Amino acid sequence: MVRLIILLFIGLLATPSYADHSMKLSPNTDEHLFQCGSVFVLMSGVVKLAGDTEKSKRYRVKFDRLAVMAESVFERTNRSKKEAEVYMQEHVDLYVALAQKDARQVVAFTRVCDLRYPD
C-alpha cells in the first residue's frame, strides 16, 4: 500500500496540477508545524524513492526543524516531547490516508508548506 502511495506521488510530482485544491493551513499557526512537518517527512521518502536524494535530504531537514519547533510548542503548554511526537504521527497518518484518496491534494499542500517554510 505504501509503495502505491509513493508511486502516485512520483507520478503527480511530474504532472502539473491545474485543479483547485482545498487543503489549507490551519488558522492556528502552531498547527502549521505539524501539518507541514508531516507532509515534509512524507515527501522526503517519496522523492528519495524517486532517486532525488538531495531533495529528500532537504525535506528531511525541514521536517527535523519543524519537529523541534513543534516539541517546544508542546513544552510551553506543559506537554511532553512524546505527546508532540504522537501528535505529529497522527498528522502523518492523516496525510497518508488523504494521499490514498487524492494524492494531488497532498502534493499541492506540500507546495503551500514549501512557501510557508522555505529551505
- 54-108 tens-digit pLDDT: 999 999 999 999 999 999 999 999 999 999 999 999 999 999 999 889 989 999 9
Q: Give the pTM.
A: 0.79
Residue 15 backbone zone (phi > 0: left; psi -120 to 50: alpha; other: beta): beta
Is 19 within the bounds of a domain?
Answer: no
2-42 pLDDT tens trace: 554 554 455 544 444 434 445 677 777 889 999 999 999 99
Spatial CB neighbours of 95, under 8 Å, sequence gap ≥ 6:
38, 39, 42, 106, 109
Per the structure, the complete domain to which residue 112 belongs is given by 2-10+31-116
Asked if the structure places residue 26 within a domain, the reply is: no
C-alpha–C-alpha distance, residues 16 and 6, integer Å:
17
Tally of structural domains, the chain: 1
Indicate whether 109 belongs to any domain: yes
| Neighbouring residues of 65: CB distance < 8 A, sequence distance ≥ 6 | 117
16 in any annotated domain: no
Asked whether residue 44 is domain-assigned, the answer is: yes
Residue 107 within any structural domain of the chain: yes
